Structure 1
């Protein structure tokens, strides 16, 4: 967050909630829904950052494989594969990545253009081999390395790199035609600033942005239904609903920085979304240093919010969840079997209890728990808070709820990908604090859904688990959840997992 403070946004949200409802604005003609203007993606989005990293790793492997294959194929039985050859091969593979990076071959545009970029790849690889030959000559190491091997290494490496780039260009072009690399973008604001921004973005054919439409809170008299050929799809509130229904990656404000109050009002609605939010600097008269901006192609913008976990963070967290989740599932399988038998033998009904809860971006997910209540008194929506001595809870249920053993089946949700090991706990649809729904108690409550919910979380290890009979308890939970989101790292996840068993010993609020 760079331009605005979250506290200002929360204050604005609270003022909006407390303000009396005004008169309804004039009715306007219906506009086509956003899904009809830009169809939903055919598949999950692909990250150019992750793709570039994978290409680098692949090319390192290809170059190293070429060096080892040529050495073993041409010099087998003549020159052994000693430490000198291993060091030279790995060193040249690393140098190749540095040279190709300097030549600008690791971007999404470069991956599509085979002929022009292929020439740069060939030039870079030739430069690497020429540099290697020069070093061998001046260091008087020529007698330690075979010239036949170096020539064969050059030919094999060149062939592998060009073949890989051809396949990459074909694959990336096909995926781009399917929209897999598109950043679906909504424009907030209308009039000439929005039109100028759209024209500037459209002038860049390879920007990777796909504009879905324009959203504006102003009345039709000041905001046209079509801006630069794109329809006005509704208000900012409509934008929140749209972002919940379909994929949206980026929101760009075209309002001037001076319209701080209006921007804060809109951000109070939008900041809960797991989406990058930018403020256009394209038409502003304010000129900051170039380093103050980020860029959409060549269009300068100011960063307001970033998606909390993106690109490699998604990959790392996903791998961590599934690998550690599978290990925990195996480790706790005897305990889970024992709990399942206890539930089955002490009360009639199924072993598992399935419940709809809010997941990432408010998507509904079905989580698994060991059944802790009598079947005829189950409360799938959690409309009534479980309290101490609650008659709906079975004898075994009291034990497994107090020790959180009833949550162990959610390891299956982790392996499936619905939950993360660590994250804000997913709450039931009708969960309440002091008989009021959570989102009505805490301003910005749904911001905790900007990341995937977890089996345990920062709030739980800090004592905020169990009954939420007061508004303060859910307020403290949300504060800890937001702190986790803003400060996430794998090491933070490991810390929370390590301290969770100690937190479970504190059972005074768990019923």
Structure 2
């Protein structure tokens, strides 16, 4: 059994404090005090199991390469076969070993947690790769030139290092699982008997990495008990959205029968704005699909409804992309930024930079840098009043740098810092509005654009949707482009947007 209880204690009285108001309370989306207190205990980010196993692959590949190279340098030197033969064997042998361990599921977290079951696999695979290298040397007629001492020493050294690493990793993984550093945080959507069966099934899975943080259900206590299998009902579905953002929830598991189509669709319409995995429990459903249709928590089947966009190694690749191109952008545009700073200082009194709070990833508030384009006493940090054509608040230099988007160049530092990405939905100010309506009041599902980091440039901008938003249709169309980007993201898509940006900005008729 691997039942993971949250760090807090649950009581019926604590749950009753927010549920005694019945249906009237459910109309509110403000998170109740008890749920907010619980959510705050999960504010700290966790390590992704996918990332941990991925890093281990890289480390083991490096161990194999470096140990083989070190023994070659220390023992063989330039004698015997050319160094290129050794280099080829080291690289191919290391890559083949890691690939074979992957095929043998030796990087799965449950198996890493119990290294006794994988050490035999490691020995067998490494020995098999050694045999393949020896066979390759024979057929290539270089076996007589290769050092047998080097080959044997590399095998033993690498084996000791691999086994030692896996023993250390097993201890670390067990520690990280106990203290909550490595887990997937989940919330059950829907209570009652179905939720209880689901929770019991998950808890019976040995070594699962799921931590259930609570239950949310729109039904009152008469139809949905306040505590199910030891976990509290923390609120309704509207409250769940705020809870998931504060507690950095990784997965929502909907515990409703597939046959309750209307209710499931109603839930998904509210929940899809969150940057998390959404799964529909198939544990108690009578309908059965082919095994490939499911994902599993241990042996508990789930139907995948939504996946968190740009997750796992995709997020690592995108972050590396941002760092590399942000540094290049800062270097290339540093003369322009310096000249702009001087021009702003000469044109009007006040600071060179303007800082504005905007919506970031997961609706968090971030501070975005821009070159100041307005007179200091007329700046509008909330962007409640959009800049219009010939706006008297904009300085002479400000008109030029806004027209050419030079005012956005300091956001390279935001991207380097990590609260912006180079490419993504453009971040809007917290109070941005049109016709006295906030954007989320106009566009149904507007906050779904915050499932990824906002960007310095984006798909909507290079398609001409930039500048003043003076109609409902403009913000709807921008949001459609942003959602298209999120659903179709790739590094090639980012590159395309990044390199098209300077060309498309030449047509800047809507930027004032």
- Fold match (TM-score > 0.5): yes
Equivalent residue pairs, number: 488
User: Using the alignment, how far apart are the partners of 1:464 and 1:274 within structure 2?
Assistant: 24
Aligned partner of 1:107 in structure 2 is: 108
- Correspondence list, 1:228-307, <5 A: 228-307=229-308
Cα deviation for residue 116 of structure 1 reads: 3.2
CA distance in 2, matches of 1:169, 1:468: 54
Tell whether 2:420 aligns with 1:419.
Answer: yes
Assess if the C-alpha contact under 8 Å between 1:189 and 1:254 holds in 2. Answer: yes
Query: Please, which moves more after superposition, 481-490 or 258-267?
Result: 258-267
- Of 486-495 and 175-184, deviating more is 175-184
Compute the displacement of 1:132 (Å).
Answer: 3.8
- Aligned pairs for 1:32-43 within 5 A: 33-34=34-35, 36-37=37-38, 40-41=41-42, 43=44
Does the Cα contact within 8 Å between 1:41 and 1:180 map onto a contact in 2?
no
CA displacement 1:14-65 (0-9 Å, x = unmatched): xxxxxxxxx972669x987345447634743222222222222222222222
What CA RMSD, in Å, does the superposition of the two structures yield over aligned residues?
A: 2.2
| Alignment CA distance shift 1:451-1:503 (3 Å) | same
Q: In the TM superposition, what whole-angstrom CA distance separates every residue of 1:59-107 from its partner, at most 9, and x where no partner exists? A: 2222222223333333336425433333222222222123322332111
Structure 2: which 5+ runs fail to align?
1-20
Query: 1:17: which partner in 2?
Result: none
Matched-pair contact (CA < 8 Å) for 2:49–2:183? no
Written as runs of structure 1 = structure 2, the 5 A alignment for 1:46-445 is 46-76=47-77, 78-133=79-134, 142-445=143-446
Pick closer, same or farther for the CA change 1:343–1:32 going to 2, 3 Å.
closer
Q: 1:25 aligns with which of 20, 23, 29?
A: 23
**Equivalent residue of 2:129, what SS?**
helix
Query: SS where residue 424 of structure 1 aligns?
Result: coil
Deviation at 1:259, TM superposition (A): 1.1
SS in structure 2 at match of 1:221: coil
Q: In the superposition, relative to structure 1, how do residues 76 and 408 fare at CA in structure 2: closer, same or farther (>3 Å)?
A: closer
1:137 to partner: Cα distance: 6.0
1:182–1:209 contact (8 Å) kept in structure 2: yes
Correspondence for 1:13:
none
State the SS of the aligned residue for 2:173: helix
CA deviation map 1:153-195 (0-9, x unaligned): 2211212212222332233333223322211100001111111
- Name the residue aligned to 1:14: none
**Per-residue Cα deviation, 1:223-277 (whole angstroms, up to 9, x for no partner):** 0000111000000001011122221100010111111111121112111010110
Rounded Cα–Cα distance in structure 1 between residues aligned with 2:347 and 2:33? 56
Is this contact kept in 2: 1:40–1:247, CA < 8 A? no
Q: Secondary structure at the match of 1:33?
A: helix
Structure 2 CA distance for partners of 1:75 and 1:235, relative to 1, 3 Å: same
1:179–1:464 Cα change, 3 Å: same
Listed as ranges, the matches of 1:453-492 within 5 Å are 453-492=454-493
Asked if the contact 2:39/2:247 (under 8 Å) is kept, the reply is: no
> 1:92–1:388: structure 2 CA closer, same or farther, 3 Å change rule?
same
Using the alignment, how far apart are the partners of 2:430 and 2:63 within structure 1? 51
Q: Distance in 1 between matches of 2:25 and 2:409?
A: 51
Cα separation, 2, equivalents of 1:374 and 1:141: 76
TM-score for the superposition, normalised by structure 1:
0.90
Q: Distance in 2 between matches of 1:426 and 1:386?
A: 16
Shift, 1:509, TM fit: 1.0
Structure-2-length-normalised TM-score:
0.90
SS in 1 for 2:182: coil
Task: Measure, in 2, the Cα distance between the counterparts of 1:136 and 1:373.
Answer: 72
Cα distance in structure 2, aligned partners of 1:332 and 1:198? 55
